[in-house]
Amino acid sequence: MIVLKWLFLTISPCDAAEPWQLGSQDAATPIMQGIIDLHHDIFFFLILILVFVLWILVRALWHFHYKENAIPQRIVHGTTIEILRTIFPSLISMFIAIPSFALLYSMDEVVVDPAITIKAIGHQWYWTYEYSDYNSSDEQSLTFDSYMIPEEDLELGQSRLLEVDNRVVVPAKTHLRIIVTSADVPHSWAVPSSGVKCDAVPGRLNQISILVQREGVYYGQCSEICGTNHAFTPIVVEAVPRKDYGSRVSNQLIPQTGEA
Amino acid sequence: MAKQYHLENEVKKVKEIVAPQGEETPDEITLKTAPADFRFPTTNQTRHCFTRYIEYHRCVAAKGDDAPECEKFAKFYRSLCPSEWVDRWNEQRENGTFPGPL
């Protein structure tokens, strides 16, 4: 990837699902990078175990075929092999468990103070987003609904069942706090590139912290069966440079304060 | 290097054309929100929002309606609580049915 960039080839990272996609989408946050790395770490052991078990299996079938070995031996005990087959699997599960726990606990760690808070509120069947950091009263709030664009209104290049009318605009390279909740039934706010999937439960506020490392548009879908239009409740996060975010929010706030 | 410098100057010129110094430009907002509170270190932040709301109203009750030191609590709970919740709690306070210790 880096080499190709040196050759001035433009590469667009994968931030939405693709046809016949097998792997994860490209990471946009350190958490997602951690998830992908953990997957690769575990896959090393997985392949190791697979090859070993297949080898033993094929060997046993070959050498202990009834024509080769008509009278089976009655061995019921072997200290060395029993010690080995206890210690090695426990070592392997330790090598898997340690990075796994490290990632798990770092995911819900509240390390730094976030710069902005965004509330994502699930509805049947759309998401409402509230930006209330700049409010000076209870009424005033930068709130908007995010509906899916129906198939017949799609423009060329837009993704079916993924595009929304109002994207969540967030600053890149900034610590974000997303408060996820629901107004009716359980939903789930998920953006694969950010490595985030958080249940939206009515009456409860769930917090997730993300740090989007690069500007881009990230697609996700509601991930908890929430009714008939569950499949038509996508999530689109647009990460913009910090200064663009500032001017966007202040531009949206000015007409509101003008009215008030 | 010289080219880079030249480019920067060009950019400055363009910026001045787009947004001249005299014209009113919207004030840049500062990115600031409720800080992480170590009373609420978990994913569940429901109590965080509720506590900040109560803290604000207790502060106002103790120090008067427009005490400047209470304003920060208001900012915190507005950042954390869904506006629907705040509206409901405000209504409950008016009716005297608010369930929290005020």
* Low-confidence spans in chain B with pLDDT less than 70: 1-29
Name the residue in chain A with its Cα closest to that of B45. A205
What is the DSSP code string of B12-80?
HHHHHHHS-TTS--PPPPP---PPP-TT--SSB-HHHHHHHHHHHHHHHHHH-TT-GGGHHHHHHHHHH
In a domain, B38, yes or no: no
Partner residues linked to A236 by β-bridges: A219
What pLDDT sits at residue B12? 54
pLDDT for res B27: 54
What is the second-level CATH architecture of the domain A30-107? Answer: Orthogonal Bundle (1.10)
Residue pair A212/A194 in contact by the 8 Å Cβ criterion: yes
Nearest chain B residue (CA) to A181? B82
CATH of domain A116-259: 2.60.40.420
The verdict on A116 touching B (C-beta cutoff 8 Å) is yes
Q: Is residue B67 a part of any domain in this protein?
A: yes
Under DSSP, the state recorded for A134 is: T
In a mutational test of the A interface, the residue from B78, B89, B91 whose CB has the highest number of chain A CBs within 10 Å is: B78
- Residue B18 within a domain: no
Please report, for the domain that includes residue B69, its CATH number.
Answer: 1.10.10.140
DSSP A173: T
Element (H, E) at A12: none
- The domain in which residue B65 lies consists of 43-95
Whether residues B28 and A254 touch (CB distance < 8 A) is answered with no
With an 8 Å Cβ cutoff, are B84 and A246 in contact? no
Q: What's residue B86's pLDDT?
A: 93
pLDDT score for A149: 93
Domain count, chain B: 1
Answer yes or no: is B90 within a domain. Answer: yes
ipTM confidence:
0.79
Residue B72 lies in a domain: yes
Q: CA of A230, closest CA in chain B: separation in Å? A: 22
B38: Cα separation from own chain's centroid: 19
Q: Is residue B20 part of a domain?
A: no
How far does A208 lie from chain B, in Å, by closest CA?
A: 7
Domain ranges of chain A: 30-107, 116-259
Per-residue tens of pLDDT for chain A, all 260 residues: 555 555 555 556 778 888 888 889 999 999 999 999 999 999 999 999 999 999 999 999 998 888 888 887 788 889 999 999 999 999 999 999 999 999 999 887 776 789 999 999 999 999 999 998 888 787 777 899 999 999 999 888 888 899 999 999 999 999 999 999 999 999 999 999 999 999 999 999 999 999 999 999 999 999 999 999 999 999 999 999 998 998 888 888 766 555 44
Residue B12 domain-assigned (yes or no): no
pLDDT of residue A260: 42
